[in-house]
Amino acid sequence: MSHSCDFEDIMFVKIDEPAPSFDLPAYDPKKDDETQISLESLSGKWVVLFYYPADFTFVCPTELKDMADAKSQFDALGVTVLAASTDTHFSHRAWVKHERLMEGFPYLMLADHNGEVASMYNILDFNSGIAGRGTFVIDPDGIVRVIEVTSGPLGRNSAELIRKIEALQFMRSHPGTACPAKWAVGSKTLTPSMKISGEVFEALK
């Protein structure tokens, strides 16, 4: 795979900065058809870009099944989930049709076949042309709020991802607040200031 582009012209992912733009072909398993999806078309929405290494692998279908099982929770939070890999949309379709764990998969599956987007999101292995396990949460303003990359054999957990999105949405609607470790809906939050420096224990009571 050749990557002879000028790196000064590439926008790389950074936390709390605008997400690198993309416009990719995709497989829509609900319609059993190909489509096209761009980040710009999702402006004003919460987006989870969920990269996995490859179709027809081992840990990947368990992750995508977990994400599919949580669809009602993502819907309740107004989140658009996009699965993505460097496979083609034809491969996505074949995988959905053959892997029983993928039965009823509800999300668009992006086909980043040349790895350009995975490169911008800093998860592309240039030797293999395969993307790593990268999870990116993009807020309605197009700002990246979560970057999580895990080792190849390690599957992710949709429940923890949902907890993070709930916290991000709470902080967005309550400016100036911060969510401490293990925060869940209804838990105590913090208002960072000099007054609680060194006294966080008391602030959480």
First to last CA, the chain: 56
Task: State both tokens at 88.
Answer: 């083609």
Which residue among the candidates 60, 81, 110, 118 is catalytic per the annotation?
60
Contacts 24+ apart (CB under 8 A), 14-18: 14/144, 15/144, 15/145, 15/146, 15/147, 16/143, 16/144, 16/145, 17/143, 17/144, 18/142, 18/143, 18/144
Contact present, 134 and 148 (Cβ < 8 Å): yes
- Tell me if residue 60 is catalytic: yes
Q: Looking up tokens 């470790």, which residue turns up?
A: 181
| Cα 152 to Cα 155: distance, rounded to the nearest angstrom | 8
Contact present, 83 and 29 (Cβ < 8 Å): no
Contact present, 15 and 79 (Cβ < 8 Å): no
The residues assigned a catalytic role are: 60
